[in-house]
Structure 1
Amino acid sequence: MLIKSSNCSPHYDYTHKDDIPSTIIWTQTLESITFKIESNQSRVHFSEYCLNLHNPYKSISLPLFDKLCLEKCAIDKINNTITFLKESFYLWPRLLSQQTDQEIGDQLLEANFLVCIHHDEASFDTLDFDSVINGQGQKTGLE
């Protein structure tokens, strides 16, 4: 995978020359969103409000659910990831503004874009503070 960028310039491109499907896996926290991209047939480009896909024959622009802060990003070339800060600090219910990842995936396949978009939901451990006790069976004060 070849990553084209110049230290968090206003646009981010991922390019690769194989003819196998591309995959975009996204995860999020309250502050940021991370994309793990295996870009093979399609080129992936980010702007503040859109995820843009390009192949040799056509381009498609998919509006994101909310705005990305392009000037604040981290690129990990080894793991093929890019992390952007979000404009608003809340969890996005979906990546794209009007459609789920599955709906847009179906439409991309119909348009001959071999791109799969998946949300890798983080699993959070929950803790019932009423049941927190120390080694002697007493509550620790965290409750």
Structure 2
Amino acid sequence: MNYLRIFLMLLVSITVNGQSIIGQWETYDDSTKEKKALIEIYQKDNLYFAKIVKRFNGDNNAVCKACTGTKKNKPIVGLVIIENIKKVGNEFKGGTIMDPENGETYSCYLKLINANKLKVRGFLGFSVFGRTQYWIRKE
């Protein structure tokens, strides 16, 4: 009986902690709450990245005029906006997020709130100054 209880508790723990951020996520405008973009998070070499797959409220052929370096004037759809995130416990951190509207890059961390909700925080310094968004998993 005790073995069954231990097994079930372990199974529940693995299921909750084993949820993945990989997949497609919908973003929403902070002020209007309108659906803004579809983002795909993927893993490469034990790091996580995210790219814009589709824009819902803008030209899908637009380029990132505000971006710098190799991303300048590249199409926004297909643009990698999150780079080099590492999984540390239940958080994903250590990488960056780029805002294609202003071309600025910020430190970033992600935290899975539940299977369908992801906390995304971009910040300067020690995360005191920044912005948090919640992305919803696309079904």
Q: TM-score range by the shorter chain?
A: under 0.3
Greater strand proportion: 2
- After TM superposition, the score normalised by the length of structure 2 is 0.26
Computing the radius of gyration from Cα coordinates, the structure with the larger value is: 1
Greater helix proportion: 2
